[in-house]
Structure 1
Amino acid sequence: MARRHLSSEEQALWSALTRSVWPLRPGSRPIDAPPALAVSAPPGLTPAPLRPTVPSPSRAPAATLDSTWERRIRSGTLVPDMAIDLHGHSLSAAHARLNQALATALSRDLRILLIVTGKPPKASGFGRDARRGAIRAEIGHWLETSAYADRIASVRLAHPRHGGEGALYVILRRKK
């Protein structure tokens, strides 16, 4: 099937549209402009002004913490200020509960949140446990896209005393 070329009016509309949308994730690949950008916009349609690019703050949790934190995590002497258990919740309920717990922890100036998600799924032969570990699979994405992501200093596996592979420590940054 042959590709249809855009008319000059369609090219102008496409150009105006691509200038008015912004990627959901900063740093993602911009949309390529159509080949003919010199076409003027149709009457009554003014192109959207270009937004200045502002670098987004680093939202990624730290890969390593200082030696005191590392030692406390490894030895199991870290004491969570608050803990939530997401077992038995649907994905949407667990997500809402996680956001509520983060908001509560931040409002109380707590630093260490223990989140019990359950152990990751074991490799099963015939897809028997396809739904097992759904919350565990989503928790990283939820924390990255949370409204509180910039307040998270690090996310770590919990010490066996606190649940091991079935739980996570979320270490929150201090208030500025």
Structure 2
Amino acid sequence: MSAPRGLSAEEAQAWEKVAATVKPMHRRQKPTSEDLAPAPVLPKKVLLKPQQPRPPVKPAPPPARTPQNNLDGQWDKRLKSGAIQPDFTLDLHGHTLDAAYDRLMSGVSQARAMGARTILLVTGKPRPVDPADRGSKRGAIRAKVLDWLAASSHHAAIAAVRRAHIRHGGEGALYIVLRRERG
């Protein structure tokens, strides 16, 4: 709400005429000097010209494919058939959530430092877990791994995460495929 603007001379005369016709419901005390002081006159508002309608905004292009899904067909075939021999194995099975997170982050750092391309991550089989109970029930680590990786400083170095072949643990394990280091 804007501050009240003062009355113009013409408006003040019209107000005086209206006020003279009104009977007060209750007698007021004698007006003070503050009551009689004129209100400050503020500048008039400037009307702006209507703007020309803008052309509709073009929708943004669809987001690029996420880094988690950009393996070529050969990589996917080799992963699905179990033909890939992981360069690094990281076992989180049986750890607490905090210990599993720390081990995952340090393990991915170690694998990157070694120049590994594929990590076999053993998590245990996923279980139907209520989101509120993921801290203590079975399958909690598996339920958190993708979120941990996506939020980590390693996310840009990860080309894909896939379920492991049965000979490497099947549903109880994942392959993490790292991007080739440039440099």
TM-score, shorter chain, exceeding 0.5: yes
| Amino acid across the alignment from 2:91 | D
Matches within 5 A, 1:113-152: 113-122=119-128, 131-152=137-158
8 A Cα contact 1:60 1:150, kept in partner: no
Give the distance between the partners of 2:88 and 2:97, measured in 1 at CA.
21
Q: Which runs of no fewer than 5 residues in structure 2 stay unpaired?
A: 2-63
Partner in structure 1 of residue 82 of structure 2: 76
**1:66 maps to 2:66:** no
Which one of 85, 96, 102 corresponds to residue 96 of structure 1?
Answer: 102
Relative to structure 1, the CA distance from residue 60 to residue 138 in structure 2 (aligned partners, 3 Å threshold; closer, same or farther) is same
Matches within 5 A, 1:2-17: none
Give the superposition deviation at 1:61.
Answer: 2.7
Give the superposition deviation at 1:60.
Answer: 3.7
Partner in structure 2 of residue 47 of structure 1: none
Matches within 5 A, 1:31-46: none
TM-score scaled to structure 1, two decimals?
A: 0.61
Deviations 1:87-131 (A, max 9, x none): 11110100000001110011111000010000011589xx9xx71
8 A Cα contact 1:111 1:173, kept in partner: yes
Count of residues in Structure 1 that have an aligned counterpart in Structure 2: 116
The CA RMSD over aligned residues, in Å, is 2.3
Which one of 153, 159, 168 corresponds to residue 162 of structure 1?
Answer: 168
Q: Which runs of no fewer than 5 residues in structure 1 stay unpaired?
A: 6-57
Which one of 107, 113, 138 corresponds to residue 107 of structure 1?
Answer: 113
Relative to structure 1, the CA distance from residue 59 to residue 96 in structure 2 (aligned partners, 3 Å threshold; closer, same or farther) is farther
Determine helix, strand or coil for the equivalent of 2:83.
coil
Give the distance between the partners of 1:158 and 1:99, measured in 2 at CA.
19
8 A Cα contact 2:162 2:174, kept in partner: yes
Give the superposition deviation at 1:62.
Answer: 3.2
Give the superposition deviation at 1:75.
Answer: 1.2
8 A Cα contact 1:80 1:113, kept in partner: yes
Determine helix, strand or coil for the equivalent of 1:156.
strand
Relative to structure 1, the CA distance from residue 59 to residue 100 in structure 2 (aligned partners, 3 Å threshold; closer, same or farther) is farther
TM-score scaled to structure 2, two decimals?
A: 0.59
Relative to structure 1, the CA distance from residue 147 to residue 72 in structure 2 (aligned partners, 3 Å threshold; closer, same or farther) is same
Give the distance between the partners of 1:158 and 1:151, measured in 2 at CA.
19
